[in-house]
Copies of this chain bind each other. A is one copy, B any other.
Amino acid sequence: MNTTLTLTDAPAAAAESQAATPAFSPLYQQIKGLILQSLQASEWKPGESIPSEMELAARYRVSQGTVRKAIDELASGHLLIRKQGKGTFVATHAEHQVQYRFLKLVPDQGDLNTEGPAQREIVDCKRLRATAEIARALALRSGDTVLQVRRVLSFANVPTILEDLWLPGTPFKGLTAERLAGYHGPMYALFETEFGVRMVRAEEKIRAVLPDKSQRELLQRPANTPLLSVERIAYTYNDTPMELRRGFYRTDTHHYRNDLN
């Protein structure tokens, strides 16, 4: 049997009706779920601190250790950031520390700091109807409105990355080329502050490809130069896909770095 929570705060465990799986979930998982709900509902905003462990323990009527374990898991998923002596904070893509969390391209010599900040140029930005492929990736219906953006990232004024990206129209209502061009900083930080959309994780499919003419020109590459194709689907809370992005990376001066554990 399962321990059920009695909470002043939320309606606790759902269904529980499936006979096949007893679906035992430990207390700290349920607490984790409740904290997740509060994050999702923006009860605490990116960059802000959440209540202390003791406060949360009192609120959920559990011990501090149980809250701690819930927070530990959220912190290891980079949803929260613990800072000893200060508190626990909602993670944000705006912090310098984790600015390029999803960008694994690094220069062959030196690091991102050597190169200084990226230059961002919006090449194109328009609304259109989702193709079947894009609809599938974003869990929309074919024909739904999506925002399509093409941009070039340069490091030390050398064009290095060309990206096409597609965003679902509804959550990003009001996003324009001007808005993007006027914002200097990580795109995911803009999504957070302006649209309340926080990217939590992503999946990438990587291939070696030969670019077409327009791609070659934007990256100023000669013919027959292969590029790294990086197709990314980024997810917000609840595993909801919120962005499809196709990047083309120069890998003669940079490489995609991956650590395997």
Closest residue to A228 on the B side, CB-wise?
B208
Q: In the bound complex, do residue A256 and residue B224 qualify as a contact, i.e. CB atoms below 8 Å apart?
A: no
CB distance from A91 to the nearest CB of B (A): 11
CB distance from A245 to the nearest CB of B (A): 12
The number of residues on chain A lying at the interface, defined by a beta carbon within 8 Å of a beta carbon of chain B, is 31
Q: Verify if A5 is at the interface (C-beta below 8 Å from B).
A: no
Query: Which among B203, B209, B259 is the interface contact of A208 at CB below 8 angstroms?
Result: B209
| Known interface pairs A203-B260, A205-B255, A261-B201; A210-B224 also in contact (CB < 8 Å) | yes
Q: In the bound complex, do residue B205 and residue A257 qualify as a contact, i.e. CB atoms below 8 Å apart?
A: yes
Q: How far is the CA of A204 from the CA of B261 in the complex (A)?
A: 11
Q: Verify if A226 is at the interface (C-beta below 8 Å from B).
A: yes
| Known interface pairs A102-B260, A260-B102; A206-B255 also in contact (CB < 8 Å) | yes
Contacts of A257 in B (CB 8 A): 203-206
CB distance from A78 to the nearest CB of B (A): 6
Query: Which among B104, B207, B249, B252 is the interface contact of A255 at CB below 8 angstroms?
Result: B207
Q: Verify if A227 is at the interface (C-beta below 8 Å from B).
A: yes
Q: How far is the CA of A232 from the CA of B77 in the complex (A)?
A: 26
CB distance from A237 to the nearest CB of B (A): 14
Q: Verify if A154 is at the interface (C-beta below 8 Å from B).
A: no
Q: Footprint of B on A, CB under 8 Å?
A: 77-78, 101-102, 104, 201-210, 224, 226-229, 232, 249, 251-252, 255-261
